[in-house]
């Protein structure tokens, strides 16, 4: 490479090149406007929208958690109108985001994250409403109904009748109250609806009651004649409490089973009331609240992981398109 100084002080550098009037070296035999080709040229990197990524990770999850709790929890039980207002507000917010995403798309303003946000908000609102509605009727409503019912103690079937405890949720029976397994009956309609009278004994012998209004119930647990094994430790003579059966769809079949017992054993049941025979009714009630909390935590965790995977997938997809 040679360096040449012109008399006017201009510098010329090149391999036999001739400097033009502007002092720019022109290589003989090359294109005037052609840029030199380079193999290792660093490409321009796309700027990652960290705020957009974090917003799409947490905001849909927060929306899902809020709607899910409102629809599945005590708010829906005590104030159902407010619960559905929250659902309406969530879908209204989703609609607004969808309109923003369409506007930015028409204006070519990089709509990628707005479009994803609108879709994520829609899935959060829909899934939270559906699953929250299911959990509410499966657990929350039952738990709330039991807490609103009355509790009775020292009930004796030989002295009390069913009409006096029609609003009962939990009953703790008096001493010497047992199940009269000899009068077990069952009515079969797909499942077997089993009933056995809750009776009273004196000196180890069953009393003859004027009306048998208190019945322990269960399904598919009396296949053998005069055998009733519905519930945990049902044969334990120390158990003397019952949890009210509040499933209205099962009540007609239990009444038919009681009618069969009346015909078979020559007894009368004027106002039958049905209970699950259990040692701790209050514990059985709070099982529904524990399930509610478990389903809530599982639902929020599953949605967070699913949305996180969706955001990461969208991030890599947008990076390939160069649209952040």
pTM reported for the whole predicted model: 0.77
**174, two tokens:** 């008096």
Distance of CA 205 to the CA centre of its chain: 50
**Of residues 29 and 156, more confidently modeled:** 156
Summarised one tens digit per residue, pLDDT across range 244-300 is 999 999 999 999 999 999 999 999 999 999 999 999 999 999 999 999 999 999 999
The structure tokens 């709509």 sit at 111
What does the pLDDT read at residue 22?
43
First vs last C-alpha separation in the chain? 46
Q: Determine the 3-state secondary structure of 18 from DSSP.
A: strand
What does the pLDDT read at residue 145?
95
Average pLDDT over residues 293-322: 90
CA-based nearest residue to 82, from 3, 73, 291, 322: 73
**113, two tokens:** 């994250």
Rounded-to-integer distance, Cα 189 and Cα 260, Å:
14
In this structure, the strands spanning 18-19 and 214-219 are unpaired
Q: List Cα–Cα distances, 41 to 30, 37, 38, 44, 47, in angstroms.
A: 21, 9, 6, 9, 18
What does the pLDDT read at residue 15?
36
In this structure, the strands spanning 150-155 and 168-173 are parallel
Rounded-to-integer distance, Cα 40 and Cα 2, Å:
27
Summarised one tens digit per residue, pLDDT across range 66-121 is 999 999 999 999 999 999 999 999 999 999 998 988 887 766 555 467 888 999 99
Contacts of 138 (CB under 8 A, 6+ apart): 291
Q: Is the pLDDT of residue 61 over 80?
A: yes
CB atoms under 10 Å from CB of 71, counted, come to: 24
Rounded-to-integer distance, Cα 182 and Cα 163, Å:
25
Summarised one tens digit per residue, pLDDT across range 189-231 is 989 999 999 999 998 889 999 999 999 999 999 887 778 999 8
CB atoms under 10 Å from CB of 319, counted, come to: 13
Residue spans of the domains in the chain: they are 1-36, 50-148, 151-285
Rounded to 5°, angle at Cα 140 from 302 and 284: 105
């Amino acid at each position: 490479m040679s360096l040449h100084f012109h008399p006017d002080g201009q510098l010329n550098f090149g391999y036999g090149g001739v400097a033009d009037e502007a002092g720019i070296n022109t290589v003989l035999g090359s294109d005037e406007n052609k840029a030199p080709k380079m193999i290792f040229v660093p490409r321009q990197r796309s700027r990652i929208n960290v705020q957009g990524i974090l917003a799409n990770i947490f905001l849909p999850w927060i929306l899902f958690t809020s709607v899910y709790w409102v629809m599945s929890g005590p708010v829906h039980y005590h104030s159902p109108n407010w619960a559905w207002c929250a659902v309406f507000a969530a879908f209204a917010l989703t609609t607004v985001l969808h309109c923003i995403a369409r506007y930015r798309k028409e204006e070519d303003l990089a709509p990628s994250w707005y479009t994803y946000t609108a879709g994520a908000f829609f899935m959060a609102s829909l899934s939270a409403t559906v699953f929250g509605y299911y959990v509410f009727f499966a657990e929350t409503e039952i738990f709330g109904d039991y807490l609103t019912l009355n509790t009775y103690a020292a009930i004796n079937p030989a002295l009390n009748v069913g009409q006096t405890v029609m609003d009962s949720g939990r009953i703790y029976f008096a001493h010497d109250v047992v199940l009269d397994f000899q009068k077990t009956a069952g009515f079969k309609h797909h499942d077997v609806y089993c009933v056995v009278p809750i009776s009273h004994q004196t000196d180890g012998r069953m009393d003859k009651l004027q009306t048998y209004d208190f019945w322990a119930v269960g399904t598919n647990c009396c296949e053998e004649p005069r055998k009733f094994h519905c519930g945990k430790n049902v044969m334990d003579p120390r158990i003397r409490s019952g949890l009210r059966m509040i499933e209205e769809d099962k009540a007609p079949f239990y009444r038919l089973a009681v009618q069969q017992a009346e015909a078979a054993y020559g007894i009368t049941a004027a106002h039958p009331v049905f209970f699950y025979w259990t040692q701790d009714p209050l514990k059985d009630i709070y099982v529904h609240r524990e399930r509610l909390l478990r389903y809530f935590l599982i639902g929020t965790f599953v949605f967070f992981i699913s949305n996180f995977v969706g955001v990461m997938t969208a991030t890599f997809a947008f990076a390939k398109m160069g649209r952040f």
